[in-house]
Amino acid sequence: MKNWTKSDQPSIRKVNSLQADLKIPNFICSLLIQRDINSLDKAKNFFRPKLDSLHDPYLMKDMEKAVDRVNKGKKEKILIIGDYDVDGTTSTSMLYAYFKKREFDVLYYIPDRYKEGYGVSLESIDYADENSVKLIITVDCGIKAVNEVKYANSKGIDVIVCDHHLPDVDLPKAHSVLNPKQLDCPYPFKDLCGCGIAYKLITAHNIKSANKLNIRSLLDFVALATISDMMPLIDENRVMVFHGLNEINNNPRLGLRNFLKSINKVDESKISFNIGPRINAAGRMKNGKIIVDLLTEEDANKANSLSNEVEYLNLKRRSIEKKVYENVIKKIDNTKYSNIIYGQNFSTGVLGIVASRLIEKSYKPTIIITDFDENLLTGSVRSVSGFDVYGALIKCEKFLYQFGGHKFAAGIKIEKSKLNAFIEHFEKTVQESVDGIMFERNYKYDIEVPFSELTVKNVKLISRMSPFGLENRRPVFRADNCTIIDDLKFVGKESQVIKSYILDSFNTKLPFISFSKKDEFINLKSSINILFTVSINSYSETDQVEIIIKEISSN
């Protein structure tokens, strides 16, 4: 199968050595070694991540300066400015909750994406000035706010930037810049999200405070942000998400409880596909401020009312997203190396989601663009595996009014008169970057495994390798020459989900579910090879192993 690639396999010697220490099946030892878990000590830390393994926050450039300035701010008014997505709103909520508990005079501001756009706006600086603010802390934004920080300074306002996006050569003249991606920042882990950096600021401040607070309870914010922002789930991201998920499950924040009613246990997939989209919907459809209000609310009735409004906004977002997607899907040009689609009056709040969905249909770098105001267009950029879309935008910089992001996703603004030139140049840049070879989706799997190895005990052990995500993917298995042995059942709102039973080549039967392969299953005429993941179905009285089929190939 030309686009099914097997991960590099560890040597039998290494597998046997780890198996002797851990006393678990060889195939699970292989999975661990593929993730660089090759010793008993590493396995202990992997399966039981400890918060004391987190890096010293004072290794981050400017952290000492930032904490000293915050402490001076105890006698002043502080404004937190955050982005309107999950990372920005959770960061804002977390800092606000922490400083309120410490009895600081603190306000928060989430820019309106339709009126102000992404990042620190001049309007937010004016708001700070009107409210006699002397210190602004930006979260998940600010690293490119050179003019806005200069404007704040002109009004006698200091700025601390907490941001994880890639810096330009010229940094804003802020009092402190907390961003481990700065070239001269010695912080050892570079892939924190904005909320992770804000948590580092809180940790550093808590260390120097006479009365220590329980900041572990704030890790639910970090888990929500890290997962939703698709950050690598390795190193301290994994540690913080692991403990953050425990906080959500054991002591859910008042503002989250309505979202959790139908969820038995919150894991990374529930955040990615259930909770995160609801939080994002507010910033996409209205204003992210409602999320900060919700996540910091301590009155149950008010929290219930706010969560109902968020649920309504999410339903509205889904309806609008569907309409935009149906519009842009018709405009795909299969001869091009990129998808760049412009449409008038698209909701800017759904551009990123639609771009991601379009990649599922047409696997290439994708930009969805619409009108921002009379003179400017705005767009969301999404990439495919192995292609640095931010680097491509740098090569097209002369055609862009503004852009920011990272190698997987970005946002842009373009003057209307330069749209055609940008499209032409971006397409040429992509084509040259890949040497004229069209993008092809490659499906990577970890190991072949017979169904007989997938016992309840073993699958539960595999599940303990979570939280899964970028750089710690849920293990994908392969089995060849399998046979469907029961009638297909079609479930779900549009009968798109397939359920049945499948037999592997060693005559072991397992139930399966597939969420995206309806047409392929209907047209099956022979045995199949499959790529799949595994889970425990606990809806019945007893635990049962279920496989989730991701890809199929007929023999």
Alpha helices in 80-154 (DSSP H): 86-101, 122-130, 146-154
10 Å CB burial of residue 5 (0-12, 13-18, 19+) is exposed
For 240-255, how does the pLDDT look when each residue is reduced to its tens digit (9 = 90+)? Answer: 999 999 999 999 999 9
Q: How many C-beta atoms surround the C-beta of residue 507 within 10 A?
A: 10
Structure token pair of residue 263: 């969820």
- Report the distance separating Cα 238 and Cα 167, nearest Å: 24
Residues 6 or more apart in contact with residue 144 via CB below 8 angstroms: 119, 165, 167, 168, 172, 404
Structure token pair of residue 102: 């410490």
Tokens 């109902």, residue located: 308
For 342-386, how does the pLDDT look when each residue is reduced to its tens digit (9 = 90+)? Answer: 999 898 889 999 999 999 889 999 999 999 888 899 999 999 988
> For residue 2, what pLDDT is reported?
59
b/e string for 334-359 if b means 16 or more Cβ within 10 A? Answer: eeebbbbbbeeebbbbbbbbbbebbb
CA proximity to 104, closest of 138, 63, 73: 73
> For residue 409, what pLDDT is reported?
87
Alpha helices in 286-418 (DSSP H): 289-296, 300-328, 351-361, 389-395
Q: For residue 538, what pLDDT band results from cuts at 50, 70 and 90?
A: confident
**Backbone angles phi and psi of 216, in degrees to 5:** -55, -35
> For residue 540, what pLDDT is reported?
67
> For residue 107, what pLDDT is reported?
97
Taking residues 416-435, report their average pLDDT: 94
> For residue 115, what pLDDT is reported?
82
Lowest mean pLDDT among 12-26, 48-62, 144-158, 247-261: 247-261
Taking residues 548-553, report their average pLDDT: 93
Residue 114 has pLDDT above 80, yes or no: no
> For residue 232, what pLDDT is reported?
93
Q: How far from the centroid of its chain's Cα atoms is residue 357's Cα?
A: 15
Residues 6 or more apart in contact with residue 364 via CB below 8 angstroms: 336, 337, 338, 339, 384, 430, 438, 439
- Report the distance separating Cα 515 and Cα 497, nearest Å: 5
Taking residues 439-457, report their average pLDDT: 94
> For residue 283, what pLDDT is reported?
81
Lowest mean pLDDT among 32-46, 66-80, 95-109, 249-263: 249-263
Contact assessment for residue 427 and residue 396, using Cβ atoms and an 8 Å cutoff: no
For 127-140, how does the pLDDT look when each residue is reduced to its tens digit (9 = 90+)? Answer: 999 999 999 999 99
HEC string of 443-462 equals: EEECEECCHHHCCHHHHHHH
For 305-345, how does the pLDDT look when each residue is reduced to its tens digit (9 = 90+)? Answer: 999 999 999 999 999 999 999 999 999 999 999 999 999 98
Q: For residue 495, what pLDDT band results from cuts at 50, 70 and 90?
A: confident
Taking residues 81-97, report their average pLDDT: 95
State whether the Cα torsion 271-277-282-288 is positive or negative: positive
**E strands along 148-268, which residues?**
158-162, 176-178
Tokens 């950029």, residue located: 381
Q: How many C-beta atoms surround the C-beta of residue 254 within 10 A?
A: 18
- Please tell me whether residue 163 adopts helix, strand or coil conformation: coil
- Find the farthest-apart pair of alpha carbons in the chain and give their distance in angstroms, rounded: 75
Domains of the chain, each with CATH number or no CATH: 57-312 (3.90.1640.30), 332-433 (3.10.310.30), 443-554 (2.40.50.460)
Q: What are the Cα distances from residue 86, in Å, to 227, 238, 288, 443?
A: 9, 18, 9, 29
10 Å CB burial of residue 505 (0-12, 13-18, 19+) is middle
Residues 6 or more apart in contact with residue 74 via CB below 8 angstroms: 102, 104
Structure token pair of residue 506: 């060693």
State whether the Cα torsion 464-467-468-471 is positive or negative: negative
- Report the distance separating Cα 231 and Cα 234, nearest Å: 9
- Report the distance separating Cα 168 and Cα 270, nearest Å: 35
- Half-sphere exposure of residue 110, counting CA atoms within 13 Å on the CB side? 26
> For residue 119, what pLDDT is reported?
83
- Averaged confidence pLDDT in the chain: 93
> For residue 327, what pLDDT is reported?
93
Strands 489-491 and 544-554: unpaired
For 181-232, how does the pLDDT look when each residue is reduced to its tens digit (9 = 90+)? Answer: 999 999 999 999 999 999 999 999 999 999 999 999 999 999 999 999 989 9
Structure token pair of residue 455: 């016992």
For 456-471, how does the pLDDT look when each residue is reduced to its tens digit (9 = 90+)? Answer: 999 999 999 999 998 9
- Please tell me whether residue 516 adopts helix, strand or coil conformation: coil
